[in-house]
Chains A and B, each alone.
Chain A
Amino acid sequence: MNAIVQPVKQFKKEQIQHATDDPRWVRYTLISVSLSFILLFLFLPLGLVISKAFASGWQAYWDALSEPDAQAAIRLTVLAAFITVPLNTVFGLASAWAITRFEFPGKSLLTTLIDLPFSVSPVISGVIFVLLFGAQGWFGEWLIAHDIKVIFAVPGIVLATLFVTFPFVARELIPLMQEMGSEEEEAALSLGASGWTTFIKVSLPNIKWALLYGVLLCNARAMGEFGAVSVVSGHIRGITNTLPLHVETSYNEYNSVAAFAGASILAGLAIVTLVLKSFLEWKQGRRL
């Protein structure tokens, strides 16, 4: 640091304040700027979702969510999350174990590759599956010949969701397990525990909150993904519309109550995610 400090010419006693304190007016200005910004950008949107969803009353809200297309969209969203989250959780555990417990060449490349889906635009995440399985894609002819539908069907939605939620569990576990080290596990192994027993009884209790957090984020994204799924889904009402796509379709048809009723469920999911995150951070005693 090359802080150039000018000698003080005059020293007035009343100017003394704690060295790291900012003047009162600075503090108040900055706090009000931050709070107005957060109010405008974070709280206002949530309030709007609720007010628009219930704009025509409870009954209309309830009807919008219980009509068959909305029900089908909710079911598909849950189904996609139900398939993708466990798969990516198993992957997260396996990759974290391999990366943090062993030394091997190409490890940092592997870590970078795991994070790759995060830096790919959601739309591109969908496009690649259309290029693979679409009518003019690589496997297009073969799939048509065998009458298998991937794009504009449920498998495509699952694949795209799998891709975009791929890193969530792994990236929560890898730093934590790195930091923890493997001493406890080595102790258990040297006392005769099997690898599996060591994992269940020693590793898992240590990483459970981070694991839960990763699963939570993975699930939130799986249920909320829009761009990638939008490319592969084809927006067939009642069949390939997930809840976010149902929100889009309803909004574009000027069906405000249906759009915001669907949005209210997704916003609720986001809030539950944030509350659970705070809870898990408190349990873990550190920022996740």
Chain B
Amino acid sequence: MPGFGQTLGFTLFYLALVVLIPLSTLIFMSFKLSLSAYIDIITNTRVLAAFRVSFGAALVAAAIASFFGFIIAWVLVRYPFSGKKLVDAFIDLPFALPTAVAGIVMATIFQPSGFLGKLLIDSFGVQVAYRPLGIVVALIFISIPFVVRTVEPVLKEFDSAMEEAASSLGATRLQVFNKIILPNIFPSVLTGFALAFARGVGEYGSVIFIAGNQPYVSEIVPLLIITKLEQYEYEAATAIALTMLLVSFLLLLVINLLNRWMRQRSGQL
């Protein structure tokens, strides 16, 4: 095969230029900070509150999205109904829709005078927009396709012979679900959850319009980084960004391990 030197050379050169060198600046810049200064920045109450908001909201949103995403994937794979093709295509909308659009739409729907916002306040007294709850709602929107698209192929390939065998031996449908289907599908749901969580933690565009962005209450980490940058507090911005980056890498590692587990699981079938 020809072209090894050229293609690999170009790949490495371009990767270094566009991704690795810019990313490593973050690490080099943080060397300027002493460890105690770094810890001071990170343990500042406003910063800690932002981390709590970002991680808490992403966790709740990913959990809710996993539940509904699993149901949607199940319905798409198992049940015939009209309009299925359209629904299936639209699952990817949150991937394709620019986050700013998602953001202003969610804020408009859920603001106190909005279509659903008014309904929720009038009937349950719950305000969604400009509260942490708003962040969760925006992140559910972003999270759904991650879960559906991870669970769907696994569910499709799942061998229903096992279900038939269990049924023929007298297991109820609920037993089959609990003991056969769920244990086999669970790794993929968990992978979808992790992907959604990782995305949710760093999400910015779809969140800021609905969040209210109140320090200590509904301020997310990405916004805090921008605020620090705009106030020329480069060191604080670097320290917080680096922490976020490390967390993302950790999540990436977890996702890769989950993926391996998922493959092993389905390999055993």
Which A residues have a C-beta under 8 Å from some C-beta of B? 1, 3-8, 11, 19-20, 22-23, 26-27, 30-31, 33-35, 37-38, 40-46, 48-49, 52, 87, 90-91, 94-95, 97-99, 101-102, 104, 110, 112-114, 116-117, 119-124, 127-132, 134, 136-138, 159, 162-163, 166, 182, 185-186, 189, 194-195, 198-199, 220, 223-227, 230-231, 244-245, 247-248, 251, 259-260, 263, 266-267, 269-271, 273-275, 277-278, 287
Contact of A267 among B29, B81, B97, B170 (CB under 8 A): B97
* 15 CB < 8 A contacts A-B: A4-B179, A30-B71, A31-B81, A34-B75, A42-B90, A90-B10, A121-B201, A121-B245, A124-B245, A128-B25, A130-B229, A199-B3, A266-B97, A270-B96, A270-B98
- Chain A residues closer than 8 Å to B94, beta-carbon distance: 42
- Chain A residues closer than 8 Å to B105, beta-carbon distance: 45, 48-49, 263
- Chain A residues closer than 8 Å to B19, beta-carbon distance: 113, 116-117, 163, 166
Asked if residues A247 and B104 are in contact (CB atoms below 8 Å), the reply is yes
A contacts with B: majority SS:
helix
Asked if residues A20 and B100 are in contact (CB atoms below 8 Å), the reply is no
Cα of A149 to Cα of B160 in the assembled complex, Å: 61
- Chain A residues closer than 8 Å to B76, beta-carbon distance: 34
Contact of A266 among B4, B85, B98 (CB under 8 A): B98
* Residues of chain B in range 41-89 having any CB-CB distance to chain A below 8 Å: 68, 71-72, 74-76, 78-79, 81, 85, 87, 89
Cα of A236 to Cα of B6 in the assembled complex, Å: 40
A23-B173, A166-B19, A274-B93 known; A121+B204 contact, CB < 8 A? yes
Does B26 interact with chain A (Cβ within 8 Å)? yes
Residue from B20, B96, B223, B229 having most chain A Cβ neighbours under 10 A = B96
A48-B105, A91-B14, A226-B204 known; A220+B68 contact, CB < 8 A? no
A113-B19, A163-B22, A260-B104 known; A22+B173 contact, CB < 8 A? yes
Asked if residues A136 and B97 are in contact (CB atoms below 8 Å), the reply is no
Asked if residues B99 and A226 are in contact (CB atoms below 8 Å), the reply is yes
Shortest C-beta distance, A9 to chain B (Å), equals 9
- Chain B residues closer than 8 Å to A134, beta-carbon distance: 234
Report the 5 A-B pairs with minimum CB-CB distance, sorted nearest first: A121-B202, A224-B98, A195-B2, A8-B170, A19-B167
Residue from B74, B204, B238 having most chain A Cβ neighbours under 10 A = B204
Does B113 interact with chain A (Cβ within 8 Å)? no
A34-B75, A274-B93 known; A123+B225 contact, CB < 8 A? yes
Contact of B101 among A30, A44, A137, A263 (CB under 8 A): A263
Cα of A163 to Cα of B17 in the assembled complex, Å: 10
Cα of A245 to Cα of B101 in the assembled complex, Å: 10
Does B124 interact with chain A (Cβ within 8 Å)? no
- Chain B residues closer than 8 Å to A6, beta-carbon distance: 170-171, 175
Does B154 interact with chain A (Cβ within 8 Å)? no
Contact of B98 among A94, A138, A223 (CB under 8 A): A223
Does B248 interact with chain A (Cβ within 8 Å)? yes
Does B102 interact with chain A (Cβ within 8 Å)? yes
Residue from B25, B85, B94, B170 having most chain A Cβ neighbours under 10 A = B25
Cα of A48 to Cα of B87 in the assembled complex, Å: 18
A52-B108, A120-B202 known; A128+B11 contact, CB < 8 A? no
- Chain A residues closer than 8 Å to B164, beta-carbon distance: 19-20
Residue from B71, B162, B205 having most chain A Cβ neighbours under 10 A = B205
Contact of B232 among A26, A136, A166 (CB under 8 A): A136
Asked if residues A195 and B75 are in contact (CB atoms below 8 Å), the reply is no
Asked if residues A263 and B104 are in contact (CB atoms below 8 Å), the reply is yes
Asked if residues A3 and B232 are in contact (CB atoms below 8 Å), the reply is no
Contact of A3 among B99, B115, B166, B205 (CB under 8 A): B166
Contact of B26 among A97, A127, A225 (CB under 8 A): A127
Asked if residues B202 and A274 are in contact (CB atoms below 8 Å), the reply is no
Asked if residues B71 and A104 are in contact (CB atoms below 8 Å), the reply is no
Asked if residues A5 and B102 are in contact (CB atoms below 8 Å), the reply is no
Cα of A7 to Cα of B265 in the assembled complex, Å: 28
Cα of A52 to Cα of B12 in the assembled complex, Å: 46
- Chain B residues closer than 8 Å to A166, beta-carbon distance: 18-19
Cα of A226 to Cα of B203 in the assembled complex, Å: 10
* Residues of chain B in range 155-183 having any CB-CB distance to chain A below 8 Å: 160, 162-164, 166-171, 173, 175-176, 179-180, 183
Does B258 interact with chain A (Cβ within 8 Å)? no
Shortest C-beta distance, B229 to chain A (Å), equals 6
Asked if residues A45 and B102 are in contact (CB atoms below 8 Å), the reply is yes
Residue of A nearest to B156 (CB): A287
Residue of A nearest to B255 (CB): A119
Asked if residues B89 and A251 are in contact (CB atoms below 8 Å), the reply is no
Contact of B8 among A49, A102, A129 (CB under 8 A): A102
Asked if residues B7 and A98 are in contact (CB atoms below 8 Å), the reply is yes
Asked if residues B98 and A121 are in contact (CB atoms below 8 Å), the reply is no
Residue of B nearest to A160 (CB): B22
Asked if residues A102 and B14 are in contact (CB atoms below 8 Å), the reply is no
- Chain B residues closer than 8 Å to A37, beta-carbon distance: 68, 71-72
